[in-house]
Structure 1
Amino acid sequence: MTDLAPFPAAAPPATTLSVCVTCRQRVNAAPGYVEPGRPLLAALEQRLADSGIVVRGVQCFAVCNRPCTIALQAPGKWNQIIGDLTLAGDVDAIVDAALIYARTPDGIIPWAQTPMAFRRGGVARLPPPPA
């Protein structure tokens, strides 16, 4: 018996999950800020290590009032930008959505499969650049 391939026929173009590592957040009334993207990036790198999805940290999405923000991108697909994500509550949702996104033909995650964190945190959905 052979193992099933993770994608039908030929593998689709690589999916990239980018995580803003410069988002800053105040914690209660404490002085200074924390950067929630760095631990989120580390958790996602670990969870998606064998998935074929490229996970990378990026400097800034300019959505500073929505920490932490991520983007899902792949050639020929719509780009998804999602904010207000946390290490404590959203890692599973991000992993699930990234795996679904990678398998879509166009980058549009079906609404019924869209995690609540993505529904409430949607920043933008950008079309792929013209060919």
Structure 2
Amino acid sequence: MNQTANGTAPVELLVCTTCRKGMSTDIEGPRPGAVLYESLAAGDLPSGVTLRPVECLSNCDSGCSIVLRGGAQRWTYVYGNFDETGDADMILEVASRYHDTPDGLIPWRERPVHFRKNCIARIPPIGDQ
């Protein structure tokens, strides 16, 4: 990934659009994950953050899920249990904070409670040997 104007690598915000959030497979209408993606797309996406829809993050038991990743020197995070209609602003704020870090580590107390309690996975940076 290339560097942005402030010297940090760009960030990708991945959203599982196939999430059913525990609903039956025969429910009609948009899936909760697709609704979350659309809510995020309609929001004010932070500079340096790219929103990307993805199919199935295999995190089905943890509701709507997202991934924050960016550059070889940042930790990657998988978060779950998001409300597809009410959490977009909080997610975009955290994506902005994540982008502003060189390593992806937002201080624990500066993270919203949802992000503290719903971290599914934390993946070390590629450059971390």
Deviations 1:74-120 (A, max 9, x none): 00200011000112332121111100000011001111211111112
Aligned: 1:10 with 2:6: yes
Letter matched to residue 68 of structure 1: C
Among all aligned residue pairs of Structure 1 and Structure 2, give the percentage whose two residues are the same amino acid. 34
Q: Is the 8 A contact 1:48 1:55 kept in 2?
A: no
Letter matched to residue 119 of structure 1: R
Runs of 4+ in 1 over 6 A off after TM superposition: none
Q: 1:57 aligns with which of 41, 45, 53?
A: 53
**Pairwise CA RMSD:** 2.2
Which residues of 2 match residues 18-57 of structure 1 at below 5 A? 18-26=14-22, 32-33=26-27, 35-49=31-45, 51-57=47-53
Indicate the structure with greater strand content.
2
Aligned: 1:80 with 2:70: no
Max radius of gyration: which structure? 1
Q: Is the 8 A contact 1:90 1:117 kept in 2?
A: no
**What is residue 95 of structure 1 aligned with on the other side?**
92
Letter matched to residue 62 of structure 1: S
Letter matched to residue 67 of structure 1: G
TM-score under structure 2 length normalisation: 0.83
Which residues of structure 2 form unaligned runs of 5+?
none
Counting matched residue pairs gives 122
